[in-house]
Amino acid sequence: MSKKQYTYIPDKKVCSNKIIINIEENTISHIEIVGGCHGNSQGVASLLKDMCIDEAIKRLEGITCGKKDTSCPDQIAQALKEIKESKN
């Protein structure tokens, strides 16, 4: 079973400043969102635990925050897309 940890630095437009993602095979085993709203970050991380990378991308990509063209969830999707591309 392959486990790997990835660190992603989000776009400066969002509140979070680092996203740490642990992947086992093609599944999210843990996410830590540093910075931003602690409650929302914990909720999103909990919902994504044990979710397939592709499903998480599908659910999160394109979510915006206020007038910004991105959000912390969208940045998670971008991180997961980079992880997926790096595995190929």
Sequence spans of domains, the chain: 3-87
**CA gap 60, 48 in Å, rounded:** 10
| Mean pLDDT taken over the chain | 94
> For residues 22 and 64, what is the distance between their CA atoms, to the nearest angstrom?
24
pLDDT of residue 19: 97
Confidence tier at 87 by pLDDT (50, 70, 90): confident
- The architecture that CATH gives domain 3-87 is 2-Layer Sandwich (3.30)
DSSP string, 7-19: EE---TTSSEEEE
| DSSP classification of residue 70 | -
Query: From the CB of residue 12, how many other CB atoms can be counted at a distance below 10 Å?
Result: 6
pTM: 0.93
